[in-house]
């Protein structure tokens, strides 16, 4: 009897185990693909998933937040080297730069779609980055890892989401806020845009989480590596400065809070971060030398850069850079004289009758930004072709400029010599420490609480690199800016930002957040055009006009073109239009004012 009971129990246990095995068999997951049920387990899984974000933002057309140089042929538009073409720093007049010319002239039209070259700043094609982040955020809790480890990757994901939303808001204002994974039936797909201030509250929450949880160092050598907490602080200072000044000058609640967040984030980076201003003690080369190098690793000022490697990812920005046309007279005249005074006040200014005169007694950054005729051999410009520079459009051979002011700041002949089309390896300097110093000084000045000590720990470090006089707390007012409605000190802080960050993609956004769009109504001029210039630049094809303020004649880049007589509609042009296809799919988005 006992044996019978024992055999029954064995049979029962066997049947039970068989049933359990069958259930496991039926619930087994595919071995040849990754699934949510099997993936989100370890720190390595989270790290691998977050690599997706770094991969996505290499597409500078769809995700222009970590703007580098878009791959290959499209480098002529999607590169930070070109973005100043939207504003008054560069004067491109090549057909490939038509998108910049349209915006610069105030003749932008409502696009049909947000995709394609020239429309990358519309950004609405980039929502799959937000979707990828939201999928990650829903699944990170599944990993059996400590919370502090998990939150590193949560912070990394939220940094990308907040950064992208800032881009959408700065271009379009109100935006659809989505913080969960959507499907084809989700109501959010057809919802109205969320008010700007509500979106930015969410952005700030994302950035705060990122700065609190991303590690100071991932242990990856930062070469270029993952985004660190120090980068997150710089992103936060940039975003908060934009939002604070936008609200101050355009209207909005609590701009002071945003400005203080900007200052505090920058100060944390300045006080405790590992970064510093690059200098070797050579004021004639230190400013542009690291912008022109093919190897950006190991530089204490460079916080984020992107490598380009033959056979993996390449660009063509060095050759396309000629299509930027050249620096404008407007920006060239903004460089101070070596006594620290603007050209309107300094007795050292030598005028602009000849291009060589422009560089005399000026801030050394001018000669490291614009090509001096005597420096052609030093820079191997253009591939050391032996021609005299500058060369003006219409002259045969060599590299020509629409303004006469060839930009030299990022020039590297070694990235062109012997390389095939689209095979350039020029790296992209995406974020550098100098911006933190400028953000800090501006935020403190906008708050009305800046001190000489603040200037000495920020802007004056940048001036030290080029041996320029320190900025004093009470500078004289430059007459050219007397009608801007801001203090002389803020004029000089904004000038310093323009000069230091020339050609790095900031000028257009700065003018918009300061509500200074009217500055874009001034035509883009080049070098002075007199009898000597006419003889010196034989066969040049240019248009000219007379400056009514001094009676002198200058190259007028866009005269007799579609982009002549630029306009800026204060009621429309601070925000961009929503593409028609997006409106057709979701009419509840609504069009921005003036673009209906």
pLDDT tens-place string over residues 539-553:
999 999 999 999 999
Q: Going by C-beta distance under 8 Å and a sequence separation of 6 or more, which residues neighbour residue 15? A: none
Percent of the residues in the chain that have a pLDDT greater than 90, as a whole number: 83
Give the residue among 502, 498, 329 at the shortest CA–CA distance from 410.
502
E strands present in 517-558:
525-528, 544-546, 553-556
Q: Are 301 and 234 in contact (CB under 8 A)?
A: no
Give the residue among 550, 503, 544, 511 at the shortest CA–CA distance from 525.
544
> Above 60 in pLDDT, residue 15?
no
Q: Going by C-beta distance under 8 Å and a sequence separation of 6 or more, which residues neighbour residue 235? A: 159, 162, 163, 207, 210, 431
Full-model pTM: 0.93
Q: Going by C-beta distance under 8 Å and a sequence separation of 6 or more, which residues neighbour residue 377? A: 384
My answer on whether omega of the bond before 224 falls inside 30° of 0, hence cis, is yes
Antiparallel, parallel or unpaired: β 302-306 and 428-432: antiparallel
The stretch 140-149 carries a mean pLDDT of 98
The stretch 90-114 carries a mean pLDDT of 92
d(CA 579, CA 168): 13
Q: Which residue has the higher pLDDT, 38 or 249?
A: 249
pLDDT of residue 386: 94
Q: Which has the minimum average pLDDT: 95-99, 202-206, 372-376?
A: 95-99
pLDDT of residue 230: 98
User: pLDDT category, 125, cuts 50, 70, 90?
Assistant: low
Buried b / exposed e over 443-453, threshold 16 CB at 10 Å, is: bbbbbeebeee
Q: Which has the minimum average pLDDT: 70-79, 141-150, 496-505, 549-558?
A: 70-79
d(CA 399, CA 84): 20
- Mean predicted lDDT score pLDDT of the chain: 92
Q: Which has the minimum average pLDDT: 52-56, 59-63, 300-304, 379-383?
A: 59-63
pLDDT tens-place string over residues 19-35:
334 444 344 555 445 66
The stretch 131-135 carries a mean pLDDT of 96
Q: Which residue has the higher pLDDT, 174 or 123?
A: 174
Q: Are 153 and 143 in contact (CB under 8 A)?
A: no
pLDDT of residue 20: 37
Percent of the residues in the chain that have a pLDDT greater than 70, as a whole number: 92
pLDDT tens-place string over residues 381-397:
999 999 999 999 999 99
pLDDT tens-place string over residues 566-590:
999 999 999 999 999 989 999 999 9
* Residue 431 phi, psi (nearest 5): -145, 140
Q: Going by C-beta distance under 8 Å and a sequence separation of 6 or more, which residues neighbour residue 182? A: 131, 134, 188, 189
List the beta bridge partners of residue 362.
Answer: 337
pLDDT tens-place string over residues 45-60:
999 999 999 999 999 9
> Above 80 in pLDDT, residue 141?
yes
Q: Are 480 and 342 in contact (CB under 8 A)?
A: yes
The stretch 306-317 carries a mean pLDDT of 94
Give the residue among 299, 255, 301 at the shortest CA–CA distance from 276.
301
pLDDT of residue 116: 54
> Above 70 in pLDDT, residue 4?
no
Q: Going by C-beta distance under 8 Å and a sequence separation of 6 or more, which residues neighbour residue 168? A: 123, 124, 175, 199
d(CA 429, CA 338): 28
E strands present in 321-478:
428-432
Q: Is 407 helix (H, G, I), strand (E, B) or coil?
A: strand
pLDDT of residue 357: 98
d(CA 481, CA 498): 14
């Amino acid at each position: 009897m006992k044996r019978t009971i024992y055999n029954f129990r064995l049979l029962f246990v066997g049947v039970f185990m068989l049933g359990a095995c069958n259930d496991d068999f039926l619930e087994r997951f595919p071995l040849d693909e990754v699934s949510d049920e099997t993936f989100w387990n370890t720190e390595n899984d989270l790290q691998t998933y977050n690599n997706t974000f770094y991969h996505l933002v290499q597409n500078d057309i769809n995700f222009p937040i970590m703007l580098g140089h878009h791959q290959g042929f499209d480098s002529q538009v999607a590169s930070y080297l070109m973005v100043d073409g939207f504003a008054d720093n560069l004067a491109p007049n090549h057909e490939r730069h038509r998108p910049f010319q349209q915006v610069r002239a105030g003749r932008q039209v409502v696009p049909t779609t947000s995709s394609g070259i020239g429309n990358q700043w519309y950004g609405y094609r980039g929502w799959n980055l937000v979707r990828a982040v939201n999928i990650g955020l829903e699944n990170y809790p599944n990993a059996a890892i400590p919370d502090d480890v998990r939150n590193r990757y949560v912070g990394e994901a939220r940094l990308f989401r907040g950064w992208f939303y800032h881009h959408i808001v700065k271009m379009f204002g109100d935006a659809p806020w989505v913080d969960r994974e959507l499907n084809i039936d989700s109501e959010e797909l057809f919802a109205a845009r969320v008010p700007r201030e509500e979106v930015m509250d969410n952005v700030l929450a994302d950035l705060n989480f990122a700065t609190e949880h991303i590690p100071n160092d991932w242990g990856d050598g930062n070469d270029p590596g993952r985004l660190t907490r120090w980068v997150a602080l710089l992103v936060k200072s940039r975003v908060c400065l934009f939002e604070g000044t936008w609200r101050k000058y355009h209207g909005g609640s609590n701009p002071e809070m945003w400005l203080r967040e900007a200052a505090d984030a920058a100060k944390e980076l300045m006080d405790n971060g590992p970064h510093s201003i690059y200098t070797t003690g050579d004021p004639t080369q230190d400013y542009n030398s690291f912008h022109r190098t093919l190897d950006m690793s190991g530089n204490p000022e460079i916080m984020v850069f992107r490598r380009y490697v033959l056979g993996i990812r390449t660009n063509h920005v060095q050759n396309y850079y000629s299509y930027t046309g050249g620096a404008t007279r407007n920006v060239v005249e903004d460089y101070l004289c070596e006594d620290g005074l603007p050209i309107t006040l300094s007795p050292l200014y030598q005028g602009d009758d000849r291009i060589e005169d422009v560089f005399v007694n000026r801030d050394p950054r001018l000669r490291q930004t614009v090509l001096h005729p005597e420096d052609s051999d030093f820079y191997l410009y253009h591939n050391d072709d032996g021609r005299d520079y500058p060369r003006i459009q219409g002259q045969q051979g060599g590299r020509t400029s629409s303004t006469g002011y060839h930009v030299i700041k990022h020039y590297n002949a070694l990235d062109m010599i012997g390389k095939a089309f689209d095979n350039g390896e020029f790296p992209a300097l995406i974020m550098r420490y100098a911006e933190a110093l400028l953000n800090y000084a501006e935020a403190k000045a906008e708050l009305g609480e800046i001190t000489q000590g603040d200037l000495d720990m920020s802007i004056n470090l940048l001036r030290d690199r080029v041996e320029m006089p320190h900025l004093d707390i009470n500078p004289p007012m430059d007459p050219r800016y007397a009608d801007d409605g801001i203090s002389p000190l803020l004029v000089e802080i904004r000038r310093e930002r323009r000069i230091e960050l020339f050609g790095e993609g900031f000028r257009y956004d700065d003018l918009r957040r300061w509500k200074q769009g009217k500055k874009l109504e001034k035509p883009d001029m080049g070098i002075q055009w007199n009898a000597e210039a006419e003889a010196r630049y034989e066969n040049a094809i240019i248009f000219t006009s007379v400056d009514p303020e001094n009676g002198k004649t200058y190259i007028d880049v866009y005269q007799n073109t579609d982009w002549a007589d630029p306009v800026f509609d204060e009621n429309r042009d601070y925000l961009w239009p929503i593409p028609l296809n997006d409106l057709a799919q979701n009419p509840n988005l609504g069009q921005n004012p003036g673009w209906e």
